[in-house]
Chain A
């Protein structure tokens, strides 16, 4: 399974849980979960799917949440050793 497909599945699994929860906080729930547990390159990949592939395969709740997911810093800034 490709990494994109895996990421879509993971995001949709999270959405499935928040679909079942009461109230209007679904998008916030999904976004908070992703912000708390997804490493920047995973979120980068996530935004690539959202921005460049029309969010293909993503649950509508995930798409709604995307606006609340923290954008990771651009890739280049991490390409250095800590003491560099």
Chain B
């Protein structure tokens, strides 16, 4: 198996529809107008030598290697910066060009070390390739004199030499190998949009510098890897390549971190992963990556991984390693015992948003067909279930309306309750690129997130609302749009129910919804709301991107409807550049919802009470299905505390850490008689488990993930599962032990079953995905190529439905005891509960959760930056270190939830969304006070966790 071929065309593709024909080396070539001569040549198969050009960034014209001669034009223009024109006659190889190129190469090589044999880029060095291509045979200038190569010149210190910067955990910067082509600097600017790199000095003194001559890790660098990818030499090199060597084959797969779902080439040497490189043809990421997907895969071989199944009678016992057969038999007999003793509905399961579609499908099938109930839920319960409900009600389908490419055509963007530069970094880079081209940005967020003001990006409006007032703010935006007549009447009359619109318009027009009237509630100056509304309504293509800051509220579903109303009222649905775009948290949270993980619906969002749908599955599965909705995760825990829910199978989710009100979760788990956890590590939930089934990573199995744009991407196995089995195999064995006659030999057979039963997946198969690369559902006879944009000719439900959105204050209120509002979020380097990223070098950037607090609130309490503080709510208390910042407004504090020793969810409450029970993570009334260190609860928790991780016959686990 070879490396996946990728052609570098030298300059980006032109989008022009107009074609131009020219002659290159006697061949007629036709390309879109605006294409460079370099790219046109490459498309015709003629490779012009180049060093500073690569198609991930714009042409720069500095290396002087790509020169060509054009009939009738003087001199030798650079082919990268010269666009094609009709009738040009171009020569890429003449004796004059040969001489010039060789001369240029000689100069480069005269200031470059000649350690090719021991160089990490050996086998993957463009400088070496070009020396070969131009026929460089000797360097007349010699290697003495001024240089950047040697630490000492004739015994004297060489001030131009710079030691290797190894500060970044994942790559090194060796300036002695740098040819100052600026590809890294331009990648950082154009692709990533961070502007962390620059060229300092002039002429021969020019060199690449991170920040202001800082170490990489201390600079603004976000370690996305774009510079390393762009570097043509060994100057920027992955440490893994230095350690292992060049890969010999590669496989395209999909990242298992956030909902952007980036495509990567897993570059391998045997079964050893050398590096992950973003795949240029990946339709979600278009060749870009972030620090997590690019570098943070080390958890897959971490020593903490549990590789053998384990059982224990009581959670206070140490674990006992058993065979897989014993484990399956034990679970099957326990689940059956519990069902006989407590009833059929006393057990359930949780599917994983980190596992594949096929695995998720099997877990819900096991619950419905094997357990005989519908007690299945997934972590979308605690993140985007309101999206499903809200968009289902208004548009008729539970998913985002656009593809990520759509952002390239947007003119005004609202980002509400999302922090893309941390949570969805590759999308953020694509958004920032569009903003630098002139699109306008409106940020609605209690915190001043990075997008509000960054290098060459600035929001036109930042509406720093009080947590919990989303509905009031979005309805006020609608008030301005309706009362000032800024709505799109033509669109509404054609596409929506006009009488519902009239009712809604009357409702939002009421004076009590005006920006002035709600200002005291929301804390947002009315003028900002008015300005933002006018900009959004009249600024061209308007798109809305949102995250968990919208959904995780007691009015989460209402806010989603309010967003949908806003998009319909302004006519921003059904074409590129517009739409309503939920940014999904986990890699396969969209897929897990699609696959019927919710207790009330079968795959494809069809309600369990629908006889025809049930019949489809009953026929195929040979069982009678229960027509009643099952328990949702919070309801399961309530029922457990009450004593009617006794057993659970949890695949790849850590509810004890991720779900709100930790004490309630632990009480629920402790009340169960058989908790089965399937995971890579002994996670926090496993502290309460009786059976542990080792899980496998995304590198170890075949399957598909569905990202936030409904894109079904292949996950491909590149190494043998260290635990022996892919997760779908484990679920299948468990089902067999429970008496189900399952016999899948490959995940593709599971996908075939999904396609056969679920209309929106009708054409999806592994063969089809192989052919298409990826498709976005619905993918069926009506949409054979998939659906990049939804609701193009009309809403899925028929007419778009406007729904009144009355603001209701949450019951979680501040008062004298708890005067501050806590809101939570995530950070770039860490992911979700941190089980994966904490086991990588990403901890360099974020090794603890900290409490962001405004200087005024800190001063009132005598808190200094870095102090231990106690954070208390009516649910519980914890301690962590303070970080004083004016990113949060006075009265608001913020923290992340990546570290189990902080346990931010001890603080969060059991309030939840009215429609879906999605917990209200984003608003908790708290008090903050100085503290001496960890709370009693944290000490106790840590002790309990350590005790529960003991494995008989083994030394205590490290974490």
Contacts and interface: CB of A to CB of B under 8 A. Distances in A.
Contact of A81 (B336, B803, B912): B336
B635 A39 contact: yes
Given A38-B629, A39-B375, A83 B739 contact: yes
A40 B628 contact: yes
B804 A72 contact: no
Nearest to B374: A39
Interface stretch (B339-347, B520-528, B702-710, B857-865): B339-347
Interface string A27-54: 0000001011111111000000000000
A48 B503 CA distance: 37
B957 interface: no
Contacts of B632: 37, 39
B64 to A, nearest CB: 67
Contacts of B373: 82
Nearest to B638: A3
Contacts of B638: 3, 6
Number of contact residues on B: which range applies?
A: 35 or more
Contacts, number: 87
Interface in B764-800: none
Given A16-B914, A81-B336, A39 B631 contact: yes
Interface string B332-366: 00001001101111000000000000000000000
Contacts of A78: 343-345
- Main secondary structure, interface of A, reads helix
Contact of B344 (A6, A35, A39, A82): A82
Interface string A73-84: 001001111111
B607 interface: yes
A13 to B, nearest CB: 4
A6 B343 CA distance: 23
Contact of B914 (A6, A14, A39, A83): A14
B110 interface: no
B339 A39 contact: no
Contacts of A14: 914-915
B554 interface: yes
Interface in B705-741: 739
A81 B912 CA distance: 32
Contacts of B345: 39-41, 78
A13 B914 contact: yes
Interface string B611-650: 0000000000001000011111001001101101000000
Contact of A39 (B336, B599, B607, B806): B599
Contacts of B107: none
A22 B503 contact: yes
Contacts of B344: 78-82
A3 B642 contact: yes
A75 to B, nearest CB: 8
Given A72-B628, A78-B343, A81-B340, A17 B910 contact: no
B372 interface: yes
A21 B642 contact: no
B917 interface: yes
Contact of A3 (B641, B739, B805): B641
Contact of A82 (B372, B628, B629): B372
A82 B623 contact: yes
B914 A17 contact: yes
A39 B609 CA distance: 12
B808 interface: yes
Nearest to A83: B739
B558 interface: yes
B810 to A, nearest CB: 10
Contacts of A82: 339, 344, 370-373, 623
A10 interface: yes
Nearest to B811: A9
B600 interface: yes
Interface string B583-619: 0000000000000000110000001010000000000
A84 B739 contact: no
A79 B628 contact: no
Nearest to A16: B808
Contacts of B808: 16-17
Nearest to A76: B343
Contact of A13 (B339, B554, B639): B554
- Main secondary structure, interface of B, reads loop
Contact of A17 (B342, B374, B635, B915): B915
A72 B870 CA distance: 46
A80 B628 contact: no
Contacts of A41: 345, 631, 639, 644
A81 B341 CA distance: 9
A79 B343 contact: yes
A14 B915 CA distance: 7
B862 to A, nearest CB: 34
Contacts of B917: 10
Nearest to A14: B914
A3 B637 CA distance: 10
User: Most chain-B CB neighbours within 10 Å: which of A1, A6, A16, A41?
Assistant: A41
Interface in B69-93: none
A17 B558 contact: yes
A83 to B, nearest CB: 7
A1 B804 contact: no
B628 A33 contact: no
B806 A20 contact: yes
B641 A20 contact: no
Nearest to B803: A21
Contacts of B630: 39
B600 A36 contact: yes
Nearest to A38: B629
B607 A36 contact: yes
B910 A1 contact: yes
Contacts of B635: 39, 42
Contacts of A36: 600, 607, 609, 629
A28 B760 CA distance: 30
A6 B910 contact: yes
Contacts of B803: 21
A38 B599 CA distance: 9
B50 to A, nearest CB: 60
A42 B629 CA distance: 10
Contacts of A81: 336, 339-340, 344, 372
A78 B631 CA distance: 14
Contacts of A1: 910
Contacts of B623: 82
Interface in B906-958: 910, 912, 914-917
A9 B914 CA distance: 9
Given A39-B628, A84-B340, A22 B371 contact: no
Contacts of A10: 912, 914, 917
A46 to B, nearest CB: 12
Interface string B310-345: 000000000000000000000000001001101111
Contacts of A9: 811
Nearest to B639: A41
A22 B342 CA distance: 44
Contacts of B340: 80-81, 84
A17 B507 CA distance: 14
A20 B507 CA distance: 10
18 contacts: A3-B641, A10-B912, A17-B914, A17-B915, A21-B803, A22-B507, A22-B804, A39-B375, A39-B599, A39-B628, A39-B632, A40-B628, A41-B631, A41-B639, A78-B345, A80-B343, A81-B372, A83-B739
Given A14-B915, A22-B804, A39-B632, 18 more contacts: A1-B910, A6-B638, A6-B910, A10-B912, A13-B554, A13-B914, A17-B808, A19-B806, A33-B915, A37-B629, A37-B632, A37-B916, A39-B374, A39-B630, A41-B644, A42-B631, A79-B342, A81-B339
Interface of A: 1, 3, 6, 9-10, 13-14, 16-17, 19-22, 33, 35-42, 72, 75, 78-84
Closest 8 CB pairs between A and B?
A: A82-B372, A20-B806, A13-B914, A79-B343, A81-B339, A39-B631, A78-B343, A40-B628
